[in-house]
Amino acid sequence: MNKITILIPCYNKRDFLPRLFKNLSKQNDSNFNVLFLDDGSSDQSASMIAKFIQDKANYKAIFLEKNQGLSNARNTLISQCSSEYFYFMDPDDLISKNAIKLFNAVVKQQDFEIIYARYSLIFYRIPIINFLSKLKWNNSSWKSPINFAADNSPFIWNKVFQKQWFLDKGFRFIEGHIFEDIPISFVTMMMAAKTHYISNKTYKYDLNLKGLSKKPSLSRLEGIYANLNYLHTLIKTNNLTQTWNQVVEKFFFKNILVHLFFGLNAKFIIKNFEKCEPILKNLYKFFQKNNFESKMAKYSNRTTLMFNSAIKNYFKIKQLIFTGEYYE
């Protein structure tokens, strides 16, 4: 029986599926399962998946009539996974030819709770510098999952999770919001006691600019706020505050402010201020409660240009919220 199942949530990804199917078929190790979930796609995604899996015993799919969101898709896929381990993959990304071979070699050694590896970035199939990961000449410190979480963006993909451990800890993605992987990615990496780090790059993240989490929108703001609250709740209830403050917070803090207030994100807020104002007030209350402003000076320096720009926009928008005035 195969130990690993690749879980692939899918919604309107017709243009990416042929490339995905080809990528899965080229794995050097065929000992894995694949479970798709089509989340009520309105394009041809469902029929393409059905056709692709029809002659493959280790490929299965779940088809939903109505779109229920990515968090529900992830929770459903985990619950329906029959193997010992699961591995999330997004349908617009790719995995290396040796990915499953490398992960299978590890799961045969002993029972790990999480196995994680490096990833690369591509843009229109062209490899680019991985600006989402902290640059290091020596990444041996990433053998610690906490250090890896502190230096890399919080994605749920490219990690092999032991299903029973994941369920026993009560991990679930909160439904109805994007950015659902932020809390789970960080907290699982901080809580896992038995982990293994693979130094190879096993995943290629496609900077698909059409993705929901990349477009400035009201749902994006709401998703960040909801999952920030969930993250801090998980940190407190699992007694992770000290570890978070000492190791992880700096990288996370900078990234979340850039996601909210840098460039087009800030312009969207100003242009759509009336619609954004209620959720912005909640966000700023959350920032105040968690002492975000006192940490801005702590983590800022001359080299963090995007972060510094985000801080300036943060205060401009704060002034607009509480005084009704905005200065360029």
Give dist(CA 226, CA 222) in Å, integer. Answer: 6
End-to-end CA separation in angstroms for the chain: 61
pTM of the prediction?
0.91
How does pLDDT run across 72-103, given as a tens digit for each residue?
999 999 999 999 999 999 999 999 999 999 99
Please report, as a single letter, which amino acid is at residue 298.
K
Domain ranges of the chain: 4-206, 218-323
For the chain, what is the mean pLDDT? Answer: 90
Please report, as a single letter, which amino acid is at residue 6.
I
How does pLDDT run across 232-291, given as a tens digit for each residue?
999 999 999 999 988 888 878 888 888 899 999 999 999 999 999 999 999 999 999 988
φ and ψ of 61, to 5 deg: -150, 150
Model pLDDT, residue 314:
94
User: Is residue 210 predicted with pLDDT exceeding 70?
Assistant: no
Give dist(CA 41, CA 34) in Å, integer. Answer: 19
Give dist(CA 326, CA 322) in Å, integer. Answer: 10
CATH class as words, domain 4-206 = alpha beta
Tokens coding 268: 């969207």
User: Is residue 12 predicted with pLDDT exceeding 60?
Assistant: yes
Q: Contact 14/48 with Cβ under 8 angstroms? A: yes
Give dist(CA 268, CA 238) in Å, integer. Answer: 36
Please report, as a single letter, which amino acid is at residue 224.
I
> What residues have CB less than 8 Å from 126, skipping those under 6 apart?
none
Reported confidence tier of residue 137, pLDDT bands at 50, 70, 90: very low
Give dist(CA 107, CA 95) in Å, integer. Answer: 18
